[in-house]
Amino acid sequence: MKRIALLLATALIATPFAASAQLGFRDTSNALSISISPSYPAPFELVTLKLTSPVHDLERSDIVWSSGGKVIAEGEGLVKTTVTAGAMNTSMTIMADVGNGVASAETVIAPTAIELLWEADTYVPPFYLGRSLPSAGASVRLMAIPRFLKDGKPVPANQIRFTWMRNDGILVDQSGRGRTSAVVAAPYLYSADIISVQAETVDGTISGEARVRIPSVEPVISLYGDHPVFGTMYFNALGGSTPIAESEMSFIAEPYFVPANSARSSGLTYDWRVNNVSVAAGADRPNALTIDASNSSGYAFIELVVEHLTNFFLSAEGKWGITFTKGGGGTDMTDPFSGR
């Protein structure tokens, strides 16, 4: 018992001195670090290297930057330099020497590439050649394609850990091993989100990052003639003032980028007005409207508001002036909808 007490007392007395010794006499040659920007350089990207140290007075030290034995840059207080990253899946070791061997540090630049692709799940008409863009209340689908090579072979996705982030906040439920895709909520109206993905092989030897800025857009309503023979004339969205050489015409409204899988989605409401008179939307085709102007002045001012039953952020509207120039009622200047 006495021996144990003696050992404890000795340990307690000796500890401060040991700690002091570590602080006072430790090897400072490695008290250096090199940071690189960007953290995950792409192939042939310009990389900025910065040397920092809590111990050494770098501003007054001679610093030599080298790679593969060749000097890249040197000078007193040269704490920053730049280098161009190599090709994809190559590595470049950069060394910084301070005070002619007093201290040194090294880092490896191994550029990788990750393709980060995205699209929204919003509605666009069939055969539309443009991208579906996100609007408030929609979702965004993302897909990451890492270009990691190991021993000359692509690293399979199930050997890579993916960490998805929105505005630098980790999306835990979307992240994990082999999770090459993600679905996130679209940004709020008039805002944009930064979505990024970090990928790292499970053995930690290769890593990379990609990020995209995803803006939210307002849905756009286009109005098209719906011809009995040619169908919806998607090639000609009607403008604010359009003459039409008919006395009767059907129209189709296409709400681009609304969060729905169809223009006739039950979640969408169509509020039509023609010459300031409300027109009930059809049950089967609420985005369609037919105007017969044969006994009228031939001018129809069409207004449409599209809203969503549950998504209160969605409200898109359009206005079009249509002049029917083939009407039989040229002398009767009554409004075609005034009698409703």
Q: How far is the CB of 162 from another protein (least distance, A)?
A: 13
Cβ closer to another protein: 69 or 239?
Answer: 239
Q: CA–CA separation, 95 vs 301, rounded Å?
A: 72
Q: Which stretch binds another protein (CB under 8 A): 11-19, 77-85, 98-106, 257-265?
A: 257-265
Cβ closer to another protein: 229 or 283?
Answer: 229
Q: Is 3 exposed, middle or buried (0-12, 13-18, 19+ CB in 10 A)?
A: exposed
| Beta strands per DSSP E along 43-112 | 46-52, 62-67, 70-76, 80-84, 92-98, 103-109
Q: Is 181 exposed, middle or buried (0-12, 13-18, 19+ CB in 10 A)?
A: middle
Q: CA–CA separation, 118 vs 132, rounded Å?
A: 9
Cβ closer to another protein: 244 or 289?
Answer: 244
- For residue 253, the cross-strand partners are 223
Q: Which stretch binds another protein (CB under 8 A): 141-149, 184-192, 193-201, 327-335?
A: 141-149
Q: Does 175 bind another protein (CB under 8 A)?
A: no
- For residue 252, the cross-strand partners are 224, 288
Cβ closer to another protein: 23 or 129?
Answer: 129
Q: How far is the CB of 298 from another protein (least distance, A)?
A: 14
Q: How far is the CB of 161 from another protein (least distance, A)?
A: 18
Q: Does 231 bind another protein (CB under 8 A)?
A: yes
Count of positions on this chain that bind another protein (CB under 8 A): 44
Q: Does 264 bind another protein (CB under 8 A)?
A: yes
Question: Among 326, 329, 330, 335, which residue sits at the site for another protein (rule: CB under 8 A)?
Answer: 326
Question: Among 19, 46, 55, 143, which residue sits at the site for another protein (rule: CB under 8 A)?
Answer: 143
Q: Does 197 bind another protein (CB under 8 A)?
A: no
Spell out the residues 6+ positions from residue 203 whose beta carbon is closer than 8 angstroms to its own: none
Question: Among 169, 204, 230, 266, which residue sits at the site for another protein (rule: CB under 8 A)?
Answer: 230
Residue numbers at the binding site for another protein (CB under 8 A): 113, 115-119, 126-133, 141-143, 145, 147, 180-181, 212, 220, 222, 224, 227, 229-237, 239, 245-246, 254, 256, 262-264, 326
